[in-house]
């Protein structure tokens, strides 16, 4: 009995059909790149200070000194959330007293920004922060919005696989693409923060769902050698390309509603791909729709200039294939034995930490010195060589050493940041980009590595649980950035420390490079590393038993 890859081998590896599918599916990922990170500009926080109404009768001197000063980065700047009590300084102004000469400003009573804020328009004309005053006592709403977007991503990752298994890869791909684009369009008409946030959750659900559908569709249509490149380079680099396009849009469109409207256009254009991207023949066969699958294969053969055989799918082979029912496994199998339990816990820690680092550095771009648009472009552009480096490392070097080295690189430069003098801000920005490079490389490699460690019977569950940990990390990441309001280097210290600790933890993982993929949990125990754990455990139990017969007897039960 031949499998699907053997049956369709006559199509070749890299013909016009495969190239078309590769680039069209990769192109469908571009809107994901700027939709996910658009919040960097949509929720940008410009310089602001308390508004002092023109109706208050103040002299020019008192109006210029109506905001208290604070020390920030070694210089005096106006406070963002406090002002001197207007009734008091209006009285001093009426008496002709001068601030700083006749009145000690440090002794004056202060009050909150009762009349709102004034926002600088040097960088943004408007954002959701300036429209709904998400500053000072409401500054938690910014990171909360981002976290809820990733909550939507988490919810979408749970349902996307089930939807595509039931309704088809192509249908779910375009349905969720329309969902992402449609709800992004509705956000333009948000009347308050709550409406914007609820719609953003739905955008997150659509974003991850069409990403997963495109990923699965590509891996099922493309041949074995090409699907590896598609998974590691195709979707990742096109995602980074979308991320690079984002600051270009944002630079020329500085009003958040018009920017969001412009970002929905590529999603609408992607709708035209419906007539060029076919359904997955593998999925059609699993649903018993053999004739539809054959039509797609014959069309692919015609595109490649190849004559298809008269019979592509032998009904007898398909009947034998469908009669084989795989043994059912449950999520409990991921913790059933001590070895797989340790591996699962370590994988969760690895994915969560990498996700915090990746999204934390991406979202922290506005806080870097220099132009936000240039920094955002470099933050996206550095991902391209990172993905290429990850692919090369996966081809030639052991997995755990490659991931550990990438994490060490990312974590060490983040910790080194606090030692860089404040005037060398270009060096600081460069180090952040190097840290992003290392963590992005590790992020790209960890998908392949995790899939190789788990056996076939629980591979999907293992990667799914690890991916869920990644989503939790992305939900937490905005609050790491938020800590920068209290100490500029605190986010880097935390992310750097966690990354280096995880790099050390990675060295204790088993090695999967050059090892056949395990199909069962029993085969998994023979992978290099896990076997060592098992041998050590057995040796320890024997030694303990020799020293204490009671222990050995209790172990037997």
Coil, strand or helix: which one is 8? coil
Distance CA 39, CA 48 (A): 19
77, β-bridge pairs: 70
Coil, strand or helix: which one is 111? strand
Q: What is the pLDDT of residue 524?
A: 59
Count Cα atoms within 13 angstroms, Cβ side, for 39. 26
Q: What is the pLDDT of residue 165?
A: 74
DSSP letters, 184-225, are HHHHTT--SHHHHHHHHHHHHHHHHHHHHHHHHHHHHHS-HH
Average pLDDT estimate for 172-189? 91
Q: What is the pLDDT of residue 262?
A: 92
* Tokens 């008091």 -> residue: 88
Q: What is the pLDDT of residue 254?
A: 92
Q: What is the pLDDT of residue 548?
A: 40
Q: Residue by residue, what is the 3-state secondary structure of 463-479?
A: HHHHHHHHHHHHHHHHH
Strands 117-119 and 75-78: unpaired
pLDDT higher than threshold 90 for residue 444:
no
Number of CB atoms found within 10 A of residue 191's CB: 8
* pLDDT (tens digit per residue) in 459-502: 666 777 777 888 888 898 888 888 887 888 888 899 989 999 99
pLDDT higher than threshold 70 for residue 174:
yes
* pLDDT (tens digit per residue) in 44-56: 889 899 998 888 8
In 3D space, the residue among 130, 362, 149 whose CA is nearest the CA of residue 255 turns out to be 130
pLDDT higher than threshold 90 for residue 533:
no
pLDDT higher than threshold 90 for residue 252:
yes
CB neighbours of 507 closer than 8 A, spacing ≥ 6? 400, 401, 404
pLDDT higher than threshold 80 for residue 296:
yes
pLDDT band, very low/low/confident/very high, at 553 (cuts 50, 70, 90): very low
Q: What is the pLDDT of residue 459?
A: 64
Average pLDDT estimate for 258-272? 90
386 against 221, higher pLDDT: 386
Q: What is the pLDDT of residue 528?
A: 44
Instruction: Read off φ and ψ for residue 83, nearest 5 degrees.
Output: -145, 165
Q: What is the pLDDT of residue 516?
A: 66
Average pLDDT estimate for 34-45? 87
Count Cα atoms within 13 angstroms, Cβ side, for 484. 21
Average pLDDT estimate for 509-523? 69
pLDDT band, very low/low/confident/very high, at 556 (cuts 50, 70, 90): very low
pLDDT higher than threshold 70 for residue 549:
no
At 253, list the tokens. 């469109």
pLDDT higher than threshold 60 for residue 417:
yes
Q: What is the pLDDT of residue 169?
A: 83
pLDDT higher than threshold 50 for residue 395:
yes
Q: What is the pLDDT of residue 542?
A: 47
Comparing 336-350, 487-501, 532-546, which segment has the lowest mean pLDDT? 532-546
Distance CA 557, CA 551 (A): 10
pLDDT band, very low/low/confident/very high, at 409 (cuts 50, 70, 90): very high
Comparing 5-9, 297-301, 457-461, which segment has the lowest mean pLDDT? 457-461
* pLDDT (tens digit per residue) in 362-378: 888 888 888 889 999 99
DSSP letters, 246-304, are HHHHHHH--BHHHHHHHHHHHHHHGGGGGGTSPPPHHHHHHTT-HHHHHHHHHHHHHHT
Q: What is the pLDDT of residue 439?
A: 92
In 3D space, the residue among 44, 444, 399 whose CA is nearest the CA of residue 246 turns out to be 44
DSSP label of 99: B
Instruction: Read off φ and ψ for residue 255, nearest 5 degrees.
Output: -100, 130
Distance CA 270, CA 283 (A): 22
Q: What is the pLDDT of residue 249?
A: 92
Q: What is the pLDDT of residue 15?
A: 83
Mean pLDDT for all residues in the chain: 81
Give the pTM: 0.81
Distance CA 470, CA 347 (A): 10
Distance CA 9, CA 159 (A): 32
pLDDT higher than threshold 60 for residue 554:
no
pLDDT higher than threshold 60 for residue 325:
no
Using a 10 angstrom Cβ sphere, with 0-12 exposed, 13-18 middle and 19 or more buried, the burial of residue 114 is: exposed
How would you label 29-61 residue by residue, b for 16+ Cβ within 10 Å and e otherwise?
Answer: bbbbbbbbbbbbbbbbbbebbbebeeeeebbee
Instruction: Read off φ and ψ for residue 38, nearest 5 degrees.
Output: -60, -25
Work out the percent of the chain whose per-residue pLDDT is above 90. Answer: 18
pLDDT higher than threshold 50 for residue 527:
no
């Amino acid at each position: 009995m031949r499998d699907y890859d053997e049956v369709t081998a006559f199509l070749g590896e890299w013909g016009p059909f495969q190239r078309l599918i590769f680039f069209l599916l990769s192109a469908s990922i571009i809107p994901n790149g700027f939709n996910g990170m658009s919040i960097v500009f949509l929720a940008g926080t410009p310089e602001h200070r308390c508004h002092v109404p023109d109706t208050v009768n103040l002299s020019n001197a008192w109006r210029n000194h109506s905001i208290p000063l604070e020390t920030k980065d070694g210089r005096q700047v106006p406070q963002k959330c406090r002002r001197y009590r207007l009734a008091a300084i209006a009285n001093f102004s009426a008496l002709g007293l001068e601030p700083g000469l006749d009145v000690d400003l440090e002794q004056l009573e202060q009050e909150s920004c009762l009349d709102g804020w004034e926002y600088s328009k040097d960088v943004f004309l408007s954002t959701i922060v300036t429209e709904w005053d998400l500053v000072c006592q409401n500054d938690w709403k910014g990171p909360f919005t981002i976290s809820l977007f990733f909550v939507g991503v988490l919810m979408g990752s749970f349902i996307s696989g089930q939807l595509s298994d039931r309704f088809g890869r192509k249908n779910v791909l375009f349905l969720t693409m329309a969902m992402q684009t449609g709800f992004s369009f509705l956000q333009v008409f948000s009347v308050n923060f709550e409406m914007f946030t609820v719609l953003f959750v739905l955008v997150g659900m659509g974003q991850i769902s069409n990403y997963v559908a495109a990923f699965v569709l590509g891996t099922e249509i493309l041949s074995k050698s090409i699907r590896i490149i598609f998974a590691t380079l195709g979707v990742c680099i096109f995602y980074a390309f979308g991320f690079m396009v984002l600051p270009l849009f944002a630079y020329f469109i500085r009003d958040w509603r018009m920017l969001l409207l412009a970002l929905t256009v590529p999603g609408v254009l992607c709708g035209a791909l419906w007539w060029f991207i076919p359904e997955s023949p593998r999925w059609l066969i699993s649903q018993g729709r053999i004739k539809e699958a054959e039509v797609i294969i014959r069309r692919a053969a015609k595109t490649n200039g190849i004559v298809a055989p008269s019979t592509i799918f032998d009904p007898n082979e398909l009947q034998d294939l469908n009669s084989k029912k795989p043994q059912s496994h449950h999520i409990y199998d991921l913790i059933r034995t001590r070895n797989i339990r340790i591996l699962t816990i370590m994988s969760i820690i690895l994915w969560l930490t990498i996700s915090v680092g990746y999204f934390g550095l991406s979202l922290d771009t506005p806080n870097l010195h220099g132009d936000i648009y240039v920094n955002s472009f470099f933050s996206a552009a550095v991902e391209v060589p990172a993905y290429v480096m990850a692919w090369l490392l996966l081809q030639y070097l052991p997995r755990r050493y490659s991931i550990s080295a990438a994490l060490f690189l990312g974590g060490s430069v983040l910790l080194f940041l606090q030692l860089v003098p404040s005037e060398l801000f270009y060096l600081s920005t460069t180090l952040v980009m190097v840290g992003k490079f290392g963590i992005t490389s590790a992020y790209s490699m960890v998908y392949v590595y995790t899939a190789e460690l788990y056996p076939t019977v629980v591979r999907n569950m293992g990667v799914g649980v690890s991916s869920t940990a990644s989503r939790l990390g992305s939900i937490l990441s905005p609050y790491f950035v938020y800590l920068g309001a209290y100490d500029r280097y605190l986010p880097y210290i935390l992310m750097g420390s966690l990354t280096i600790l995880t790099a050390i933890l990675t060295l204790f993982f088993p090695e999967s490079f050059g090892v056949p993929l395990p199909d069962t949990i029993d085969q998994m125990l023979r992978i290099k590393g896990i076997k060592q754990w098992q041998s050590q455990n057995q040796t320890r139990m024997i030694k303990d038993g020799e020293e204490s017969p009671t222990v050995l007897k209790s172990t037997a039960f």
